[in-house]
Amino acid sequence: MAQAQICNDELQELTHLRQANVRKEISIPGFDQYQTLKCDFHIHTVFSDGHVWPTMRVTEAWQEGLDAISITDHIEYRPHKNVVIGDNNVLMNSVTVLYGARIGNGNKFFPGAVISAIPQDLKFRGEETTVEIGDNNTFRENVTVNRGTAAKNRTVVGSGNLFMEGVHIAHDDIVGNECIIGNGTKLAGEVIIDDRAILSANVLVHQFCRIGSYCMVGGGTRSAQDILPYAMIARDPAAYCGLNTVGLRRRGFERDIIDNIHRTYQIILQGTGLLKDLLARVEEEIPNSPEIDYILDFIRTSKRGFIR
């Protein structure tokens, strides 16, 4: 007995197909030793503006006596309500885009990626939340990005990021621009990653942590605290391993700025006394710049403390 597959409220069960599989015979004579085939070259499914699964279209065509069909779903793929997908995106086979997705332009989704699944959070009660993705990101195989919860209502991914195979971005995370997240790295809920951070493979990030811009996090690092901007973090337990000097030079940072960042961390991480006094000392001794202001604000607003 053939039945339509009911995947969401957009799909419709076709009760007339509950009948036994009986194929109609359409007799059209051939000519000059050619056989005539019965075909339909314009058929839509749930993957555009149709209402049934592709396999159902095949069953229908067989029952109607057709020999060949062409499924011609529109490229503006809309598998669910409340999904917005921009232009020039590439969705390879087995990509799943679910309710609440907001996807910009020029993104690439490799096989097995799941975008906008409900949060893995028992506090989630079905509230209206979203995943918001910018432009020109790459999501490699089996990357998962979960919707937000009532905490922040949305999970946000900026533009120009690379998420390697098996990365998980949990509910209410905020990932900036031009970040590189290595294979198997897992972000817990409400994590913030600032622009141009690099996390190597199999990094584990605790919920509520913040990852600073231009940092480099070594493979296998487990982070339960914030990671300072411009820093290299590695080892077990995680520790500050110096500046990401090579990365800063590649990004065009001038030598005096790199030296000032280095001196700032010498005062904060090697100095003695209260943290607030060390930060005040930085303001007195280090020339003011956007980079130094960013470090001071990052530390003063940290809620979990930072890795030293």
* Contact present, 132 and 158 (Cβ < 8 Å): no
Question: To which residue do tokens 């209206």 refer?
Answer: 128
How many residues are there in the chain?
308
Question: To which residue do tokens 């199999």 refer?
Answer: 202
Q: From the centroid of its chain, how far is CA 106?
A: 14
> Which tokens hold the place of 39?
């075909």
Whole-number Å distance between alpha carbons of 282 and 179: 28
Listed residue (175, 202, 170) closest to 188, CA to CA: 170
* Contact present, 245 and 258 (Cβ < 8 Å): yes
* Contact present, 188 and 206 (Cβ < 8 Å): yes
Give the residue numbers annotated as catalytic, written as ranges.
Answer: 171-172, 189
**CA angle in degrees (0–180, nearest 5) for 240-241-243:** 95
Listed residue (266, 251, 270, 265) closest to 296, CA to CA: 265
Q: How far apart are the first and last CA of the chain?
A: 65
**CA distances (Å), 173 to each of 84, 188, 293, in order?**
20, 8, 24
Whole-number Å distance between alpha carbons of 132 and 80: 16
Whole-number Å distance between alpha carbons of 182 and 163: 7
Whole-number Å distance between alpha carbons of 300 and 162: 29
| CA atoms 70, 74, 80, 85: torsion sign | positive
Evaluate the omega torsion of the peptide bond into residue 237 and state whether it is cis, within 30 degrees of 0.
yes
